[in-house]
Every structure is written in structure tokens, then in C-alpha cells.
């Protein structure tokens, strides 16, 4: 446990205190902090992520008073805990040393796929790993099969309340448990009641927040239903090319672990004669890949759930005579990628973000800001008032979101500028992904009524490069 914790720190400490390691977790913490102040997701701040994710970040915000560092420390503990569960699963198959190496492989690979801060899979991988351990340990004679099944489904329900795509692995685990119940000679009635109980337990983390919103009124209930169940089906896709590019990205960065897992699956199958353990491990891997492929878009962190079963499978490769060499090769690959040793880049980003915050506050006076694009944590770091419930810029910016946020983005943008924000923040990005209609409105407003008072150099930190701060023309220029 101590080794796992030390490696978790070693692979993540360089990002501690950096609010813009990634775009998503800063927004989740922003929403979590707003919940502490009495605001509600979907009504006061719009997003389509499940309520459990925001409740988790509300707890993190309460724990650290909205601290980015505390958020990252909690995420580190979740990553370490997941690695410990991976070790426990691997111990069902191999000796302690390869089991430990499998756990460390998970921690080494996370930073390569966007999980070095507090991305959502860093959290929901833990309950999924716990459910997998309950399933695989249920193969032992005398295991409390039905109790394990219900607890596993509760864990899967918690995972789904953080990210709905976990339903694929949850369904696979549920079917596997029912298969084991049938193999033990249960009657059809017992199988049916077990299945109903498992489904009910898995849905509990979804039903409870729905009831809370329903009690709050029809508008709140409708907002909850639209955000959680409707909007995702109204969102367009970036196309097959984006998915293929993402798949190529995953194959490149996960290639060493994929190779080790392939060796491990072969050894597992041969050792067990294609028995139940090997089949369930393969089923878990298949479900994880299916969940990854089910999402029409690609972002690097979408591949993070794959790391859990891949690391477990790699334990068999680490159990070979050359296992230590395999582990050393994986370590070297991860160090060459650079994320775990990028001290200078993260410190530069923190400095530049603080400069951005200072420039915005100098320019806005007591006025409100609007983030047309850029890091959402600026809303928190500046403590500026907000003019819209659409705080995540992509919801009004992207072409694929134009019919999937519950309002016409053009109407919302016109409304925002009618309130005359003192400062507007923009950032250059891929023009092909932007909604041309909202971009025209934004360009017209900025050219008529605003001036650039600061821009981050193009050679600055990656997530902040080309950020521009626009001040309303009738306000006095900020003093340098």
C-alpha cells in the first residue's frame, strides 16, 4: 500500500495546484462549489453530466473550500485506491510481486491518457474495479454470490452516476453474476428475483436525485430529464475521422500496456485451460472496449476505463521470468512521454493563469465576465459575476452542440451581450468545430464594442496559448 501511494504521488505531483491541467475537472469543481452556495446543476448551471459527479465535486469543494490542490489530492487517493483494488484482483491469479507491478502499471499509464488531475474516470474506475473484484472472487467455493452481486451492482450504479458509459461494464458484470447464479442451480424464480434486485440497486443512485428534482417542481424535473436523458441524443458527432484519430492516439500511447495485456490474456487462458476465470476477464475487457467504442466522440480520457482490466491482464505478463524487464520498459515509455516529469510546464501554466486572473480583474472593475472560450476556473479565480447558466464554453461554441443544450445558442449569446459583460475571454481553437452562427455574433460584438487588452503568447502553456482578454470600450483601460 505504501509503494502504491508513493508511486501515485510521484506520477501526479507535478500537476498539483495547476487549475488547467485539463478543461473538464476545473468545471466540475466550479459546479461543485456552486452547489455549496445553493445553486443546482441543470437549472442554475447547465451540463449533461450525471448528478453524482457534481455531488462528488461538491463534497470535494466543501472539503477544500474550493481548492484545486485538494481536488487533485483527492483524485490521487482515488487513483491509489483503484491501484490497490487492481492488486487485489491480480492476487486471485498471480503472486504478490506481479500483482503489485500491475497496480503500478495503472498509475504509470493514467497521465498518458489525460488522467493526471481529476478527470471523471479517475473516480469511477474505483467502484468498477471493486465490482470486478467482487465478481471474480465469487468464483471461489463458498463465496456469498448474491450478496456480492448486489454490492457489485450498487458500485456500478455509483459509477454510472459519475459517467453513464459505465453502464456497459455494469451490464456485463450483472449478466456474469446471473450466469454464476444459474450455474449454482438456482431456480428460475430465484434468478428472476436476483435480477430485479440487482437492477433496482444499480438504478438507486439515479432515482434518488431524480426524486429530489421532481420534488423541487416541474421545471427542475424537466431540466434534470432533458440534461440526463435527452440532450446527448440531440448532440451531433464530429464524424468517423475524429473517432479513428482518437483510436490511433489510444493505440500509440497504450501500446506497451496493450502488448503486456495480450501476453497476459494468452497466459491466463493457457494456465486455466480456458476456464471461468479467463472467460470472465475476457468479458470484462470486451465490455470496457465496447464502452469506449460506444461514445461517438473521442477525448483521451475516454480510454482511462480500459486501463483497469488491461492492468489486471498485464499481471500475467509480469508473472513471467522477464516480468521485471517488462515493467522497466513500461516505466521508460511513460517517462519518455513526459507528463509525469513536466515540472516546468506546469509551473509556467500556474504563473500564466495567475497573470490572466490579474489582468481580467484589472479590466473588469466591478463588472461581470463572459468566457466565450478558455478555462472555466477563471469564473472562480476572478470571483466575477456570471451572466449565463452555460458556463462551459463548448455548449454555446461547438457546432455539434447547437441543438443539444435546451436553448438556441444564438439567442443565448445575444442575451449575454445585451447584459454588457465588462470582459470577454476568447481562445483560438479549431475553427471547423465552431458553430458559424454563434461565431459571427461573437465577432461582431467584439469588433464593435470591445478591445484586446491582453493575450497569452502563442508559445505559452498549451491550454492557455492564444487566450485573449477583451475589455468593453467604454471602460477605462487597465493600469499596468
* pLDDT of 251 higher than 90: no
**Closest Cα partner for 370 from 309, 413, 421?**
421
Interval 157-200: pLDDT, tens: 999 999 999 999 999 999 999 999 998 888 999 999 999 999 99
Helix (H) or strand (E) holding 223: helix 218-225
Q: What is the model's pLDDT at position 243?
A: 66
Helix (H/G/I), strand (E/B), else coil: 424: strand
Between the alpha carbon of residue 99 and those of residues 85, 96, 313, 317, the distances in Å are 10, 5, 10, 10
* 274 vs 385 pLDDT, higher one: 385
| Residue 393 binned pLDDT confidence (cut-offs 50, 70, 90) | very high
Interval 211-236: pLDDT, tens: 999 999 999 999 999 999 999 888 87
* pLDDT of 65 higher than 80: yes
CA dist 105 and 364 (Å) reads: 47
Between the alpha carbon of residue 222 and those of residues 44, 161, 294, the distances in Å are 13, 18, 26
Sole residue written with cell 469588433: 447
* pLDDT of 463 higher than 90: no
| Residue 433 binned pLDDT confidence (cut-offs 50, 70, 90) | confident
Half-sphere exposure of 233 (CA within 13 A, CB side): 5
Q: What is the model's pLDDT at position 239?
A: 63
Instruction: Give this prediction's pTM.
Output: 0.94
Question: Hey, what's the cell of 235?
Answer: 448532440
Q: What is the model's pLDDT at position 30?
A: 97
* pLDDT of 409 higher than 80: yes
| Residue 432 binned pLDDT confidence (cut-offs 50, 70, 90) | low
> 235-244: string of b/e by CB count within 10 Å (b at 16+)?
beebeeebbe
* pLDDT of 32 higher than 90: yes
* pLDDT of 429 higher than 90: no
Amino acid at each position: 500500500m505504501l509503494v502504491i501511494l508513493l508511486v501515485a504521488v510521484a506520477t501526479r505531483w507535478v500537476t498539483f495546484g495547476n487549475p488547467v491541467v485539463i478543461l473538464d475537472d476545473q468545471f466540475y469543481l466550479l459546479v461543485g462549489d456552486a452547489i455549496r452556495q445553493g445553486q443546482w446543476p441543470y437549472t442554475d448551471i447547465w451540463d449533461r453530466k450525471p448528478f453524482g459527479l457534481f455531488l462528488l465535486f461538491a463534497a470535494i469543494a466543501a472539503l477544500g473550500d474550493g481548492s484545486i490542490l485538494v481536488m487533485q489530492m483527492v483524485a490521487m487517493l482515488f487513483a491509489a485506491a483503484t491501484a490497490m483494488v487492481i492488486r487485489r484482483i491480480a492476487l486471485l491469479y498471480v503472486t504478490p510481486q506481479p500483482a503489485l507491478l500491475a497496480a503500478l502499471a495503472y498509475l504509470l499509464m493514467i497521465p498518458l491518457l489525460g488522467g493526471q488531475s481529476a478527470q471523471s474516470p479517475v473516480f469511477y474506475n474505483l467502484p468498477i474495479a471493486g465490482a470486478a473484484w467482487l465478481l471474480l472472487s465469487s468464483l471461489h467455493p463458498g463465496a456469498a454470490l448474491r450478496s456480492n452481486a448486489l454490492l457489485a451492482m450498487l458500485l456500478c450504479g455509483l459509477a454510472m452516476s459519475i459517467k453513464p458509459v459505465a453502464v456497459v461494464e455494469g451490464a456485463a458484470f450483472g449478466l456474469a453474476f446471473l450466469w454464476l447464479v444459474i450455474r449454482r442451480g438456482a431456480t428460475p424464480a430465484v434468478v428472476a428475483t436476483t435480477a430485479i434486485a440487482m437492477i433496482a440497486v444499480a438504478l438507486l443512485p439515479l432515482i434518488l436525485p431524480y426524486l429530489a428534482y421532481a420534488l423541487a417542481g416541474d421545471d427542475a424535473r424537466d431540466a434534470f430529464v432533458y440534461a440526463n436523458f435527452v440532450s446527448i441524443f440531440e448532440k451531433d458527432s464530429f464524424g468517423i475521422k475524429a473517432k479513428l484519430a482518437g483510436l490511433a492516439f489510444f493505440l500509440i500511447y497504450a501500446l506497451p500496456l496493450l502488448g503486456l495485456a495480450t501476453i497476459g490474456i494468452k497466459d491466463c487462458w493457457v494456465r486455466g485451460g480456458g476456464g471461468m476465470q479467463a472467460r470472465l476477464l475476457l468479458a470484462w475487457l470486451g465490455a470496457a472496449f465496447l464502452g469506449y467504442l460506444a461514445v461517438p466522440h473521442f477525448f483521451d480520457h475516454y480510454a482511462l476505463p480500459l486501463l483497469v482490466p488491461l492492468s489486471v491482464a498485464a499481471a500475467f505478463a509480469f508473472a513471467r521470468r522477464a516480468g521485471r524487464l517488462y515493467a522497466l520498459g513500461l516505466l521508460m515509455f511513460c517517462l519518455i512521454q513526459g507528463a509525469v516529469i513536466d515540472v516546468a510546464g506546469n509551473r509556467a501554466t500556474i504563473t500564466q493563469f495567475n497573470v490572466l486572473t490579474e489582468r481580467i480583474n484589472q479590466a473588469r472593475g466591478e463588472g461581470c465576465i463572459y468566457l466565450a472560450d478558455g478555462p472555466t476556473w477563471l469564473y472562480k479565480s476572478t470571483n466575477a459575476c456570471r451572466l449565463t447558466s452555460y458556463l462551459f464554453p463548448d455548449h454555446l461554441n461547438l457546432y455539434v452542440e447547437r441543438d443539444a443544450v435546451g436553448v438556441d445558442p444564438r439567442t443565448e449569446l445575444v442575451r449575454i451581450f445585451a447584459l454588457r459583460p465588462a470582459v470577454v475571454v476568447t481562445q483560438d481553437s479549431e475553427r471547423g468545430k465552431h458553430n458559424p452562427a454563434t461565431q459571427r455574433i461573437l465577432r461582431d460584438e467584439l469588433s464593435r464594442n470591445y478591445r484586446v487588452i491582453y493575450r497569452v503568447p502563442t508559445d505559452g502553456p498549451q491550454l492557455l496559448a492564444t487566450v485573449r482578454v477583451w475589455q468593453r470600450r467604454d471602460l477605462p483601460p487597465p493600469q499596468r
